[in-house]
């Protein structure tokens, strides 16, 4: 009997740890309110977006991160947030280093959204901020509310969380010790007023050891939901009747797990190229997801216009500036500094699939190198105008950002 009880405990433990890894958004978007939202969104799209409209200018979106921590390891470092910001921008703009992993059968439908996420530099009251709030809490863990009509404690200071900032003007992201799911959200308007935003477990932000969701793509997936996307399998529990409303994603029975080999076929897409398990809106592991489709991008443009039409605000935006990282063993040196027509960047150890980005004072990327595996890079900077730049460099093991000045 004892062994039977132990066996059931074992099975329950497996179920619980498995549930922990799944996005907690599904029950919001399949609720009555969620279904009504998608009816309204699709009516809006058919009326306002009979053909695809591209954004005339890059939509700049201020983010505010609320790090709500109880134990010290939950109070994650600024560099983790910076790296998450970079992952968001790369993945949405399709500048991610692993686009070459998209199978050729799906490359032609891949898409980029012209959006730039930044950190808020102004509070709703106009005071300056880094866009990263740190709130200590007595609450040891948080879970998503049972439905959209229930206040969400993580988003309320008087319930142990941190009050949201104006959800018309910012996208709020809460980081905490989350139980029951890796992360959750819903398109804006699907929670109680002020509760809109994204919640994510502290171990699934940026590059982490939270395998298999360890490359910052939980937030990419949730941001897709926030802009109106559904899961790629249509949340229909394995039937082929549901839809994600996107024309260029294959019909898919259920979510994918682990890292499938291409092609992966199922009951709804029985022939090659099969289902698009490498889409950000699936559940395959972070290392195996690398694309949105153009159809999803069009849908997100419409979704953003429908739910957050006033979010674009470059004047309240800042980008990571200089940080020093004493806890990383990597040492980066720059020569000469200030620099002129050339800049030599050297690393004390070769980078592992590194990224180097030069940004101007407005956060705009003016030079980008990816897949760096060398221990130095010589950069031709002759085309840059004189002034201040930020060099952001990171790989799987470290993050660095340094202010440098270009002279004649
Ligand atoms: Zn999801």
Q: Which two tokens stand for residue 275?
A: 């289902």
Q: How far is the CA of 313 from the centre of ligand 1 (A)?
A: 27
Calpha distance 276→106 (Å, rounded): 8
Q: Is the pTM of this model over 0.75?
A: yes
H or E element: which one contains 101?
Answer: none
Q: Which residue is listed with tokens 């897409």?
A: 269
What is the rounded CA–CA span in Å between residue 340 and residue 256? 50
- C-alpha to C-alpha distance for 358 and 379, rounded to whole angstroms: 10
| Domains, in order of start, for the chain | 12-232+290-314 (3.40.390.10), 321-406 (2.60.40.3080)
- Tracing tokens 């968001």 back to the chain, one arrives at 88
Tell me how far the alpha carbon of residue 252 lies from the centroid of ligand 1, in angstroms: 15
Contact criterion met (CB below 8 Å) for 111 and 295: yes
User: Distance from the CA of 315 to the center of ligand 1, in angstroms?
Assistant: 31
Determine the distance separating the centroid of ligand 1 and the alpha carbon of 254, expressed in angstroms.
Answer: 12
Q: Calculate helix-pair angle for 32-48, 294-307, nearest 10 degrees.
A: 100
Cβ-contact 294, 229 below 8 angstroms: no
| Residue 230 CA to ligand 1 centre (angstroms) | 7
Q: How many CB atoms lie within 10 A of CB 194?
A: 16
Q: Angle at Cα 172 formed by Cα 403 and Cα 312, nearest 5°?
A: 70
Query: CA-CA distance, 303 to 48, in Å (whole number)?
Result: 11
Find, among 302, 344, 300, 264, the residue nearest to 45 by Cα: 302
Radius of gyration of the chain (CA): 22
The tokens for 226 are 């926030």
Q: Residue for token digits 């947030």?
A: 81
Q: In DSSP terms, which residues pair with 377 in a beta bridge?
A: 345
Query: What is the 213 CA–ligand 1 centroid distance (Å)?
Result: 13
CA 283 to ligand 1 centroid distance, Å: 8
Residue carrying the six token digits 């200071």: 157
Digitized pLDDT (tens) for each residue of the chain, 408 residues in all = 444 444 444 443 333 334 445 799 988 888 899 999 999 999 998 888 877 666 567 899 999 999 999 999 999 988 889 889 989 999 999 999 899 999 999 999 999 999 999 999 999 999 999 999 999 999 999 999 988 889 999 999 999 999 999 999 999 999 999 999 999 999 999 999 999 999 999 999 988 888 999 999 999 999 999 999 999 999 888 889 989 999 999 999 999 999 999 999 999 999 999 999 999 999 999 999 999 999 999 999 999 999 999 999 888 887 666 665 555 678 889 999 999 999 999 999 898 878 898 988 877 788 988 888 899 999 999 999 999 999 988 877 777 888 899 998
Is 154 in contact with 190 (CB distance < 8 Å)?
Answer: no
Residues that are catalytic: 222
CA-nearest of 117, 55, 109 to 232 is 109
Candidates 405, 22, 10; CA nearest to 180 is 22
């Amino acid at each position: 009997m004892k062994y039977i009880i132990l066996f059931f405990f074992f099975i329950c433990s497996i179920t619980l740890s498995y549930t922990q890894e799944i996005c907690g958004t599904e029950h919001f978007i399949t609720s009555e309110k969620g279904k009504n939202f998608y009816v309204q969104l699709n009516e809006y799209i058919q009326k306002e977006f009979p053909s695809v409209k591209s954004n005339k200018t890059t939509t700049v979106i201020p983010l505010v991160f609320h790090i709500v921590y109880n134990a010290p390891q939950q109070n994650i470092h600024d560099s983790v947030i910076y790296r998450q910001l970079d992952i968001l921008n790369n993945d949405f703009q399709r500048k991610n280093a692993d686009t070459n992993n998209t199978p050729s059968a799906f490359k032609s439908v891949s898409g980029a959204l012209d959006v730039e996420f930044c950190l808020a530099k102004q509070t709703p009251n106009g005071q300056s901020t880094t866009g990263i709030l740190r709130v200590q809490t007595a609450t040891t863990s948080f879970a998503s509310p049972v439905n959209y009509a229930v206040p969400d404690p993580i988003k309320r200071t008087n319930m142990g969380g941190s009050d949201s900032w104006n959800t018309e003007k910012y996208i709020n992201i809460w980081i905490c010790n989350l139980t029951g799911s890796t992360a959750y959200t819903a398109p804006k308007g699907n929670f109680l007023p002020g509760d809109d935003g994204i919640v994510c477990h502290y171990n699934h932000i940026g590059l982490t050891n939270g395998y298999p969701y360890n490359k910052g793509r939980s937030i990419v997936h949730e941001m897709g939901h926030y802009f109106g996307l559904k899961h790629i399998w249509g949340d229909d529990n394995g039937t082929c009747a549901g839809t994600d409303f996107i024309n260029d994603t294959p019909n898919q029975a259920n979510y994918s797990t682990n890292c499938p080999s291409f092609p992966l076929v199922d009951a709804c897409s029985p022939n090659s190229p099969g289902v698009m398990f490498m889409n950000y809106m699936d559940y395959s592991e972070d290392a195996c997801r690398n694309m949105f489709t153009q159809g999803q991008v069009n849908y997100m443009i419409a979704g953003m216009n429908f739910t957050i039409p006033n979010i674009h605000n470059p004047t309240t935006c800042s980008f990571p500036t200089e940080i020093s990282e004493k806890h990383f063993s990597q040492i980066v040196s720059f020569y000469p500094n200030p620099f002129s027509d050339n800049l030599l960047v050297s690393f004390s150890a070769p980078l592992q699939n590194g990224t180097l980005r030069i940004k101007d004072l407005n956060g705009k990327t003016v030079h980008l190198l990816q897949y760096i595996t060398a221990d130095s890079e010589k950069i031709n900077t002759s085309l840059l105008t004189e002034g201040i730049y930020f060099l952001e460099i990171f790989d799987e093991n470290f993050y660095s950002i340094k202010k440098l000045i270009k002279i004649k």
